[in-house]
Structure 1
């Protein structure tokens, strides 16, 4: 059975690039346009194996989204990769404190993302 990954990003073009990369690698991919949509997706799903989230989004930013995910009993152990333009150490520290397992800067290269995903999703 394919592992499920949720992409949360307000850029539909970026979601498409990430989705194509992950789908080609055999993952089932779901999308959300911001943190609120991401939480709504998670409420409908029994299991998500990994989340890839942007930091800067309307309605609910990635750090707030991550904080909510980690409070959810069903998803608190789901690994989260932050895929963002934010490179400042303070932002990275906020992400780590909220529970992010990896921090990848945009523009990203698909092999780098797939490498991080394969390390965080158990076979």
Structure 2
């Protein structure tokens, strides 16, 4: 099956409330890479990536800290035209529950269209990724 691959590199965050997290100069470093395999229908229906940040206590449900939304339709269109789109890590504002801005998340994107996936059942996932602080 042909589809596309979206790689998200979550580099760091600044100015975000957190508890008991080891930080260097108020910067939280993740350096995590997430890979999403997207079918053709998902490319048409998913227009954004929402990253939610929660403050999580050990083995309990966390409290919402903030979120950032990255609109992807332009990335998908340009990727289909150029066959590859790479966005260097850039800061995105974090929106709090009261719709104010506090802090930034730095992340990069790579979109590769027309990728062949193995003929196996898809792994279910939500397109919304939750980024959690460990206590």
Q: Same fold (TM over 0.5)?
A: no
State the structure with more CA Rg: 2
Higher strand proportion (structure 1 or 2): 2
Comparing both chains, which one has the higher relative contact order based on Cα–Cα distances under 8 Å and sequence gaps of 6 or more?
Answer: 2
Normalising by the residue count of structure 1, what TM-score does the alignment of the two structures yield? 0.28
Higher helix proportion (structure 1 or 2): 1
Normalising by the residue count of structure 2, what TM-score does the alignment of the two structures yield? 0.26
